[in-house]
Amino acid sequence: MRFGVLGPVTAWTDAGEPVVIQGLKVRALLADLLVHEGRPVPADRLIDDLWDSQLPGNPAGTLSAKVSQLRRAFEDAEPGSRALVQSGPAGYSIAVDKSSYDALAFADRVEAGALSEALALWRGPAYADFADEAFVETAVARLTEQRLTVLERADVPVSELTTLVAEHPLREGLRAAHMRALYRAGRQSEALESFEELRQLLLDELGLDPSPPLVALQQSILAQALPQARSNLPAQLSELIGRSDALDAISSSLSTSRLVTLTGPGGVGKTRLALATAASVADRFADGVVLVELAAVTPDAISVRDSLTDALHAALDLRDSAGSAAATVERLASVLGSRLLVLDNCEQVIAEVADLADDLLAAAPGLRMLATSREPLNLAGEVVWAVPPLDVPAAASDPGAVADCSAVQLFVARASAAARDFALTADNAADVAVLCRRLDGIPFALELAATRVRALGVRGLVARLDDRFRLLATGHRGAAPRQQTLLAMIDWSWELLSSDEQVVLRRLAVHADGCTAEAASAVCDDDVLEVLVRLVDRSLVVPVHGADGPRYRLLESVAAYCTDKLIAADELESVRQRHLEYYVRLAESAQLFGEGQAHWLRALDEDASNLRTAFDRAIATGQSGLAERLVDAMAWYWFLRGRLAEAVRSLNALPDSERAGAWRTGFLYMQADSGAAAERERWLPTADARGQWWIAFTSSDVGELQTGQVLLDRSLKTFEADGDTWGIAAVLVERAKHAHVRSDVHALRADAEKGLRLFQSLGDRWGMLQATSWLGAAAELAGDFDEAARLHGECAQIAEELELWPEVAGALGMLGWTAVRQGEYSAARAHGERALRLATEQGQRALQALAEIVLAFAARRTGDLDDAERRLRLLLDAARSQSEAVLYLSMVLDELGFVLELKGDLAAALKLHAEAFEVAAGYDAVRSLCWALEGMASCLPDKSLAAQLLGAAAATRAREQHLSAATEVDDLARAVEAVRGALGPDAYERAYVQGGLLTPQEAFDLLQDVL
């Protein structure tokens, strides 16, 4: 029986079924007993708590009746559970411990540092249905305070912290967590605003200043000195026993060596020890500790090296990009920084892991690695640490010496969890000692044995193991002695299973990195939830938390054993086929184009290894139809998650597929691949409406706007005829982008607003993000910079909630650009630097360019001309290396022209502005045309001609309603002053008016003899 008070007071059976408890007073009795956490409560106290002044006629008898009702409810739900409600001289109590009571489990997990697991136990306010009762008041206050303290330390989303800060506005710990979360999401200005809000509240309400630690945090944010640490280490739900010396030794090795490999046979505890070590040294690494699980990477993968880098990208939450192995390593090295990578289960692909590890260690000097493997990586400088089994008692040890052995301590801890009345005593110490010696101190073998103590007792367990090992002694002669012990234990555990349990267990082995209960049922061809629960109880299946509830995985030793059983049963191919077909259906059922988007992104993230394994099987077995269906279903996921290299690699495996052709074309455009245009011509004739939209959408950043507009018009007609709301909205938002290039504010706002309404009706947050971003761009064009900043901040929040880090980088870049236009250069640099860091991590070239533009513009306007020129020339070189002109080219040319003008090189500046005009004219980008005309006017020796250019630019701005931002006024004023001063007021005015009658192109044509 299990009990919960972290929410409504609830009881469940061990099988997870809710216990029905009739009567408010009976439920109040349960709540009161749980408040005291197993301690006796006097009857008089219970009577006062339950009835206060409104006592029943026979208080003691009535209380006794309520106790009987509670016991009966327990017994009806789970036979034998009535004994949980105990009575004695000191009063009534309920038998609970950390395994059965969520309040105690919460405290235990907090003490173990498993903060996320602790918070996951909460289902609402503590004692929610009895919150008004006086007897829970102290407990509620204590639990609530504990929860808030954990929330201050845990990794909590910004949105949740924002709500908590609103509920507890003066709590400095929450405020500090809120500020850190905002800063790490790239929202530095909001983090500083949060501090200022608290400072003002403290002053107004208490007459106090923020504490020194909070002030120090504010200063760190101002200086951008907080590390961007990330950690994905899973919380450990049980104590690590008998490894304190090992922890110290491995921690010391990591201080002096960059690669430490833990070796040993399966089941010896390599992974558990590595995770504990990583957690203990995490504060040494400014950029965090990241676990990379490699069990799902097998030699059967289409490309083992690519699968390894996919796993690394996923663990680091990076978006991959195609390129050579060297380019991939270089990009990874650029973001690894001072970090510890934990590479778990390397042995399946040891050679490829060693090659990648060697490359990364050479390229990233701040990187350290902790690997687990059954054999060393054999790299220079590697420290190999052989994980020993736990200490076992010597023969004829006395009970005290037995209890001191780590193997005994682990066995007793696990056995007492399985059988609550089990304890190490003088009577059973000798049997426990024999058992631990017989199992060679192997932790996994001890845990398997502990699950059988309740049924067999220690002596019965030892007798059966002795017989079992003699029987199996000749069955594993090829294995090392300790591996023989583990195999014998798995053998024995296997044969104790029922036939249906054996079937389920062996079929689970085809899953890569675990599965949901639904997936297990599909692959096992039956409803297997009850069987899974029994296998979890026997420690043969490990439950882990997932987006849709529990996921189930096999430890590596069990998985290898069960694969052999599948082969022996002649089921391997049929079960793998069911696995493939299920994951094709799963991918096709994912709702990535609507309100289920966030949920399905997380769900597909969790099953990424299974989906990749399914695709590899489809290709290897020639099932191109299933492979096509899978890539068609997964392509939008790959795009949203930025898995460009995985997408191209998978699509390239289907070279003749029409379905894959349009998708591949778009991904090649996103990677700036020179072959994208040829692929477009090959597949465009057979592309459907969404394929046409996709090609237009992805090709726009490389300047193919005219072709893109034709495709948008064509696909829109089909979407409207088919009633495809998502497609219509997607076309409108892409048209808004084209309007932005032309500086057509009216069209931009109209399309973005309509697209936003349609995406809102669908609940598609990616689409809402895109539309909102272009509305922010429209506000910036119109000069409403406060509104632009608000909208781009909203985009950053949506992108963060969806974990679309490239989109976060884009929103930060637009916030930086808006800050440049406002003249807030310190904020612009902060946004730009954060955007650049994220865009570089995610391998997003276009977003890196946006961030560099922001930083370059801010640098020029704060007088750092050399930094501005350096950044702009790098951007110019990158843009000119493209076969097509990129959209930002004219902007970069103009800005570099202004830099060179300020440095005195007017001739070079004039050429740059002229080139910028010609590029902008190709896109009909009106604002850029005006910038170019104004820039050329500053550089022309012929001042009368210069005045005409200024007149033409001013007339165009007025006609198109393009206001000059405050940051553009200085450039324009400098040009006007120089030209007006040279010509005199009258001559300047005549030439200026004359220029106002010209279009930008007509004005530019006047320069043909000059250029």
- What gap in Å lies between CA 442 and CA 437, rounded to an integer? 9
The confidence band for 320, taking pLDDT boundaries of 50, 70 and 90, is low
In terms of Cβ atoms closer than 10 Å to its own Cβ (0-12, 13-18, 19+), residue 338 is middle
Structure tokens given for 964: 């000059």
Average pLDDT, the chain: 87
- What gap in Å lies between CA 908 and CA 910, rounded to an integer? 5
The residue with greater pLDDT, 14 or 651, is: 651
Q: What percent of the chain has pLDDT over 70?
A: 94
Angle at 626 between CA 620 and CA 627, to 5 degrees: 55
Query: CA dist 894 to 573, 813, 816, Å?
Result: 63, 19, 19
- What gap in Å lies between CA 995 and CA 984, rounded to an integer? 16
- What gap in Å lies between CA 905 and CA 911, rounded to an integer? 11
Is 539 in a helix, a strand, or coil? coil
Tokens 């082995």 belong to residue: 509
**pLDDT score recorded for residue 273:** 92
**pLDDT score recorded for residue 971:** 85
291 CB-near residues (< 8 Å, 6+ apart): 232, 233, 234, 275, 278, 315, 342, 344
Mean pLDDT of all residues in 706-711: 88
Residue 575 has pLDDT above 50, yes or no: yes
Structure tokens given for 676: 């994208």
Q: What percent of the chain has pLDDT over 90?
A: 47
The confidence band for 729, taking pLDDT boundaries of 50, 70 and 90, is very high
Residue 219 has pLDDT above 80, yes or no: no
- What gap in Å lies between CA 115 and CA 234, rounded to an integer? 10
**pLDDT score recorded for residue 244:** 87
Residue 374 has pLDDT above 60, yes or no: yes
387 within 8 A of 264, measured Cβ to Cβ: yes
273 within 8 A of 240, measured Cβ to Cβ: yes
**Which backbone phi and psi does 41 adopt, to 5 degrees?**
-120, 120
Mean pLDDT of all residues in 827-845: 83
pLDDT digit string, tens, across residues 526-547: 889 999 988 988 878 888 877 7
- What gap in Å lies between CA 274 and CA 343, rounded to an integer? 9
Mean pLDDT of all residues in 385-396: 87
pLDDT digit string, tens, across residues 257-276: 899 999 987 788 899 999 99
Residue 478 has pLDDT above 60, yes or no: no
Residue 225 has pLDDT above 70, yes or no: no
Most confident of 12-21, 614-623, 635-644: 614-623
In terms of Cβ atoms closer than 10 Å to its own Cβ (0-12, 13-18, 19+), residue 250 is buried
Residue 185 has pLDDT above 70, yes or no: no
